[in-house]
Amino acid sequence: MLAKAMLNLESCDPISSLESGRERRCRSRLRLALPLVLIPPGDGAKIATSTEDVSCDSFYCVSDRPFALDDELECEIMIPGDDVSSVPEDDLRLRCRARVVRVVPQGKRQGFGIACRLDDYTINRSAIIH
């Protein structure tokens, strides 16, 4: 069900959407809290957080660390398997290369909202990065 929802590939024109004042997102979004690890290039520091929403080509999360627009990150998103299965291998891991497209200071709430567009990903069943 989750995979089917994430593969909803609607088309849109983000430029005309911006000009008309309509919603700027091209894809349907799901409010999902999925375990997420962000790995900035160069320093190897792993930042554990979770998504707040996802689409088939992007995600939004909150991070204690600020990022700059256009930063490229490695990340891993864990997608839980079927609820009726007791086999941990049913969980899927998306190993992703993502680009920061929006940074939102959280104000009273600690951290920074980070919107990322997925540039590339692979799917596997190996352990999440620690």
Q: Domain-by-domain residue ranges, the chain?
A: 29-124
pLDDT at 85: 61
How many other β-carbons are positioned within 10 Å of the β-carbon of residue 76?
Answer: 20
Each residue's pLDDT tens digit, 1-57: 444 444 433 444 443 333 444 445 566 889 999 999 999 888 778 999 999 999 999
Q: Model's pTM, two decimal places? A: 0.73
pLDDT at 120: 94
Measured CA to CA, the distance from residue 51 to residue 75 in angstroms comes to: 11
Contacts of 113 (CB under 8 A, 6+ apart): 52, 60, 61, 62, 102, 103, 104, 105, 106
Cβ pair 98, 116 in contact under 8 A: yes
Each residue's pLDDT tens digit, 66-109: 899 999 999 999 988 776 665 656 788 999 999 999 999 988 77
pLDDT at 122: 93
- Yes or no: domain 29-124 corresponds to CATH 2.40.10.220: yes
Transcribe 110-123 into DSSP letters.
Answer: SSEEEEEEEEEEEE
